Structure 1
Amino acid sequence: MFFVPILITFLEPSANTLLGFLKNAPVLIVVMAFFIAWVLCWLPLAAVIAIALKWKPGKSLPPEQKLPLLIPLYLLAPLILWGISSLGLRSFSDYGLVGNLSIFSSLLLGFGLGVISLAIVFACQFWLGWCKWQESNNKLVLSNLLPIPLIALLVGAIEELIFRGFLFTELNREYPVWLAAVISSLIFALLHLVWEQRETIPQLPGLWLMGMVLVLARFADRGNLGLAWGLHAGWVWAIATLDTAQLITYPGKVSEWFTGKNKKPLAGLAGIMCVLLAGAILWLFPQIPK
C-alpha cells in the first residue's frame, strides 16, 4: 500500500498543475477526488484479499473476514491525505491532527468520556430491568483485552481524520459551520451502509447525531482531533467488547426501539441518549463558542 507516495513522486512534474486545479476547484470536486482515489487504490488490494478468502460477490462475509478487507482500506486513507498535503494544498494540522503531546491528553479525556457516557446509559437500563449482565462471560473479556482497544484506536483515528478532519474542513471552506457539520455527518452515516445494510439502516439517525457530536468535540479541543478521536474510540471499544464477549442480554421487557434494534445501541433511544449526554458535557467545555 506504500505505492501511493511512490505514485505521487512519479507524477511530480504535473504536481503544480494538479495543485492549481485543486486550489481553485469547488470543494465537492476535491472531496470526490479524495474518495475516488481512496477506493481506486484499495480495490486491487481488496481483490487479492477477496480471492484469498474465497469470497464471491453477493455472499456475506462474517465479521472476522471483513477485518482483512477493512484494515488496508483504513491504512490507505492517511496515505492519500499525505499525498494531498505533499502537493502543498493543506497539512495534517489543518485537518486537526497535531504533532504534540496535548493530543494524547485529549485522547485519554475523550476515551474516558465515551466509556463513562455509555456506562451511565447501560447502568440506567440495568436499573430499569431492560438488560442483564452475563457474568459467566466475563472471562471472554481477557482474550480480547489487546486487539479490541487497538482496533478501536485505529478506527477512531482514521474516521476522525477523514470525516471531522478532511471532510469537515474542506466543506467549511465554502459552507457555514453548521451546514459543513450536517453534510459531513450525513456522509459519515451513509457510508456505514457499505458493509451492512439491514443492521445499519435503523442506526442512521444515531450515526448522524454521533457525527454531529464528534464535530462538537473538535471545537471543544480548539480545532484538534484528539478529543473526538478518544470519544469515538471509547464508544467503539466499549460496544465491541460488550458484543464480542456477549456480556449483555435483553429480556424483552421493552421494545427494541428503546434498547437498540438488532442489539445495536445507536438504533435505539438508549444509544441516542448516550450520544446526547456526551454532547451536553462537551457543550460545557470553555473552548466552544456559545
Structure 2
Amino acid sequence: MFFNCILIALFEPSVQNLQSFLENAPGLVVVMAFFIAWAGFWFPIAALLAIVLKWQPGKPLQPNQKLPLLVSLYLLAPLILWAAIWLTKTSFSNYGFLTNISILGSLAVGFGLGILSLVVVFVLQFWLGWCRFEESNIKQLPSILLPILLIALFVGGIEELVFRGFLFSELELNYSVWVAAIISSLIFAALHLVWEQRETIPQLPGLWLMGMVLVLARFSDRGNLGLAWGLHAGWVWAIACLDTAQLINYSDKVSEWVTGKNKKPLAGLAGIACLLLTAVILWLFYHLNLK
C-alpha cells in the first residue's frame, strides 16, 4: 500500500499533464505520439525476436521470420491505441470501429467485393492469355485456406483500425477530407517499406491508391470500418492463397508492369484496374446510401 501511494504521487501528475496536452494537441501531434510510442515499444521486442530467429541485417526476411515480427508489431497496436484513446478521452467508435453486429455484415460484404474484383481482373487476364491457372496445385489449397484467412482478417483489421480509423480521423480534425485521405494513404504505403524494400518500391503507387480506395470504403459504410476491413482482408487472403499455392503462372505476352512486377498485382496495371473497379462500385454504393 505504501509503495502504491508513492507510485501514484510520482506518476499521477505526469499522466494528468500528458492527458491535458494530448486533449488539446492538434491531430498531427497525436498521430506522431502514437507512432513514436508504437515503434518505441516494438523495437526491443523486434531486436529480441531477430536474435531468436537468427535474422541478419541486410538479408531479406524469410516468411518464418517475418510472421513473428509482424504479429508482435500488430498485437501492440490496439494496446497503444487504447492508451491514446484513454489519454485523449475518445473511443474506438470515433475511429469507425463498432462493437455491434452490423460490422460483421459490412465485413462480409467487403470481403466478397474484394474477392469479386480480383476474380474479374484475373479472368480477363486468363482470357487475354497473360497468365494461366495451374490446376495441379489446387490440392495445396485445403491446408492453407483457413490459416491465411485468419492472418488476413487480423492484418486487415489492425491496419484499418490504425490507418483508416485512427490516423485518418485524427488528420481530418485539422485538414480537409481529401488531404487527410492523401496523407494517411501515403503513410500507409511508405510503412510497407519496413518489411521489404526491393519488392515494395514498385508497389508504392498501388499501395497509395489502395489506401485511398479503403478511405472511400469507410465513407461508403457511413464512417464505419467494416467494409474497408472486409475489402482489405479479402484482397490479402486471395493474393496470399494464389501466391502460396502457386496457382498463377504468368506468360511473356505483356510486360510485367502490366500484370505486376515481381508477380505483385499492385505493382502493375492489372492491380490498379482492380482498385479502380472497386472504387467505382464503392462510389455508386456511397451515393445510394445518401438517398
1:48 alignment counterpart: 48
Alignment of 1:1-290 (within 5 A): 11-285=11-285, 286=287
* Alpha-carbon distance between aligned partners in 2 of 1:213 and 1:284, rounded to the nearest angstrom: 13
Deviation at 1:143, TM superposition (A): 1.4
Residues 1:288 and 1:178: Cα distance change in structure 2 (over 3 Å): farther
Deviation at 1:242, TM superposition (A): 0.3
Residues 1:123 and 1:14: Cα distance change in structure 2 (over 3 Å): same
Q: Is the Cα–Cα contact under 8 Å of residues 74 and 158 in structure 1 kept in the other structure? A: yes
User: What code does the residue aligned with 1:198 have?
Assistant: R
User: What code does the residue aligned with 2:278 have?
Assistant: A
User: What code does the residue aligned with 2:196 have?
Assistant: E
1:3 alignment counterpart: none
Give the ranges of 4+ consecutive aligned residues of structure 1 lying more than 3 Å apart after TM superposition: 10-13, 286-290
* Alpha-carbon distance between aligned partners in 2 of 1:208 and 1:289, rounded to the nearest angstrom: 26
Q: Taking structure 1 as the reference length, what is the TM-score of the superposition?
A: 0.94
Deviation at 1:28, TM superposition (A): 2.1
* Alpha-carbon distance between aligned partners in 2 of 1:221 and 1:11, rounded to the nearest angstrom: 41
Deviation at 1:16, TM superposition (A): 2.0
* 3-state SS, counterpart of residue 67 of structure 1: helix
* Alpha-carbon distance between aligned partners in 1 of 2:104 and 2:15, rounded to the nearest angstrom: 34
* Alpha-carbon distance between aligned partners in 2 of 1:48 and 1:260, rounded to the nearest angstrom: 35
Deviations along 1:52-92, one digit per CA (max 9) or x if unpaired, are: 11122222221221001110100100110111122243210
RMSD, matched Cα: 1.7
Identity %: 71
Residues 1:11 and 1:92: Cα distance change in structure 2 (over 3 Å): farther
* Alpha-carbon distance between aligned partners in 1 of 2:89 and 2:289, rounded to the nearest angstrom: 27
* Alpha-carbon distance between aligned partners in 2 of 1:18 and 1:287, rounded to the nearest angstrom: 43
Number of aligned pairs? 283
* 3-state SS, counterpart of residue 82 of structure 1: helix
Structure 2: segments with no counterpart, 5+ residues = 1-6
Deviation at 1:288, TM superposition (A): 6.1
Deviations along 1:196-219, one digit per CA (max 9) or x if unpaired, are: 111111111111110000000000
2:3 alignment counterpart: none
* 3-state SS, counterpart of residue 132 of structure 1: strand
* Alpha-carbon distance between aligned partners in 1 of 2:59 and 2:120, rounded to the nearest angstrom: 38
Q: Is the Cα–Cα contact under 8 Å of residues 103 and 224 in structure 1 kept in the other structure? A: yes
Q: Taking structure 2 as the reference length, what is the TM-score of the superposition?
A: 0.94
